[in-house]
Structures are given as C-alpha cells and as structure tokens.
Amino acid sequence: MSTGPSSSRTNLQRSNSSVSNFLSKTRQLSGSLRGSRSNKSTVIDAMEHDAQEEKLKPKNNSEYFKRYELMIEFSNLRNPNHCPLGVYVMPSSDNLNVWFGVLFVHKGFYRSGVFKFRINIPESYPNTPPTVTFLTDMFHPLVDTQGRLSIAQQFPVWRPHQDYIFHILHYIKNAYKRVVLDGLVEKYCPNKEAYRLYRNDPQIFSKLAQQCAQLSITESYLFDHFPDNNMIKFSPLSESKFDELKAQILNSTAHPPLSENNRELLPMDTDLEDRIMNLKKGLQ
C-alpha cells in the first residue's frame, strides 16, 4: 500500500506534536522539581536559622546563668540579714561551686571554737541543695564521721528559689545553740553517740564538745591552709603586732564618752586586758 506526500506530512506533524508534548511535560516536571528543591532548601535554611537563634537565646539552666545566680547569692551575703554574725565564707580560688567558710562560736558547749567548713554546690543547684562538710574534726549529733553536716531536719524538702545558701549558713550557726540541740530528732542525727550523750549525759557531752572546740584553735588546725584553693587563711600573730592591737583597743576605751545625765566618766571595763590576754593564750 503506497503513501503519498500528504500522508508523510501528517505523520511528521503527529510526530512533532508528540515530541512537543513530551518536551512540554519535561519542562513542567523540571520546573516542578526545581520548585520542590527550592522549597526544600528554603525550609532547611529556615530551620538552621531558627536553631542558630535558639542557641543564642539565654537559657535559665545554662551554665552562664547559674554562675551569675551564684555570684548574686555571694554578693548578697553582705546583707546583714543574710550572712549570720560569726560566719565568714569565700568562694574557692578555682571553682565558684565550692565555697569555704569558718564559724566562730562564742557561747554554749562549743564556745571558743573556730570551725572550718566547705560548701559544695552541685551543678543542679538550686534544684538540689548544697552539701556542707567540716574540715575541722567535729563531735556533733548532726555531723557524721566524714565531717558531713546533716540538714535533713531543717530542710526535709529542698525548695528551689525559696531555700538558699544563706539559709544553710544560718543553720550551721544555729546547730551549735541549745535551742537546736534540744529539738534534734534522732533519725536526722548521723552521730548517734553524740545525740545520746547530749540527751542522757550532758556533762560528758559538754566535755567532748569543749575538747573539740579547743582542738580547733590549736596551731595545727587553725594555721593549716588545706586545701590550697581555700582563700580563708589564718596566720600566727607576732608579739609586736599583738602589742600594737592591744594598745589600740586600750586607747579606744581609755576616754569613754561622758554620761548625758551627770557628765561623769562612765565606768571602764576593768577586765578588758585580762580578756585580751586570754584571747592570746587561746591562739597559742
């Protein structure tokens, strides 16, 4: 069967039409794919941008924020209502999460004691409480054989952002007062022997507590600078320096202010020098 020119042109037109349709669909598909890749790239870029912004945002649980909070807490200890009298603390020279402290006890069973301690502040603070460890040998119902102070009775449940380090400092000081000793519950006392002696034989307890206090002011304990990162250090007082300080104290009381009523000299503290000498003996 023969075909003429018109038939050939018709077939060619059909072929060209098919090719055109194919190319058109290919271009549409290619454009669609390019759009898809473009949209995907845009989404990825947006996600990366959001992630970068999230990294730059300050977070409450970030290490920087926690350090800042600790610095504020330490700075606030200058408030008289925060740091109790007779208690001194200083952060470690190489770790803000470690504070060293010293407690001076003037009354009670542990009078004349100078007790050094360390506060370890966990990374999870303020969600978990700090721990207190005495660096001085301690005979106390709340202190175990490793020197760790139990705070469970005072803080049965630690409340973040309600309980702070300065609350623990007050408890450290109050733990040597009769009002706290009288209220101790045995289950919160790791040193059972000290607890039972306080309850049943207070005279023996008093002697052991005084031995503990006197031991704390011996040179081997008082002038020991362990550990090296402890910034609170005691040094021996020379005779010349002691005489200088004694003279300053005596001169400050040599001419007391006049009474407003009779304008006469108020009575002097006659045993002041004796107390100064006793203080010196206690440091020797």
**What is the full per-residue pLDDT of the chain (284 aa) written as tens digits?**
444 544 444 444 544 555 455 445 545 545 554 454 445 455 456 556 655 655 545 445 578 888 899 999 999 998 888 899 999 999 998 899 999 999 999 999 999 999 999 999 999 999 999 999 999 999 999 999 999 999 999 999 999 999 999 999 999 999 999 999 999 999 999 999 999 999 999 999 999 999 999 999 998 888 876 777 777 888 777 778 777 877 888 887 655 554 444 444 344 444 555 555 555 555 54
> How far from chain centre, in Å, is Cα 102?
15
In this predicted structure, what is the pLDDT of residue 131? 98
Domain locations in the chain?
63-222, 239-254+265-283
Quote the DSSP letter at residue 265. Answer: B
> What are the C-alpha distances in Å from 272 to residues 114, 217, 283?
21, 21, 17
CA atoms within 13 Å, Cβ hemisphere of 63: 3
Q: Residue 249: in which H helix or E strand, if any?
A: helix 239-254
Say what the pLDDT of residue 270 is: 45
Q: Which helix (H) or strand (E) holds 100?
A: strand 98-104
Q: How far is CA 164 from CA 6, 73, 169, 178, 256, in A?
A: 100, 8, 9, 24, 42
pLDDT value of residue 258: 47
> Which pLDDT score, from 0 to 100, does residue 130 have?
98
Q: What pLDDT score does 173 carry?
A: 97
What does the pLDDT read at residue 244? 82
> What's CA 51's distance to the chain center, in Å?
32
What is the CATH number assigned to the segment(s) 63-222?
Answer: 3.10.110.10
In angstroms and rounded to an integer, the radius of gyration of the C-alpha atoms of the chain is 39
Q: What pLDDT is attached to residue 262?
A: 44
**Element of type H or E holding 73:** helix 63-75
> What backbone phi and psi angles, to 5 degrees, belong to 244?
-65, -45
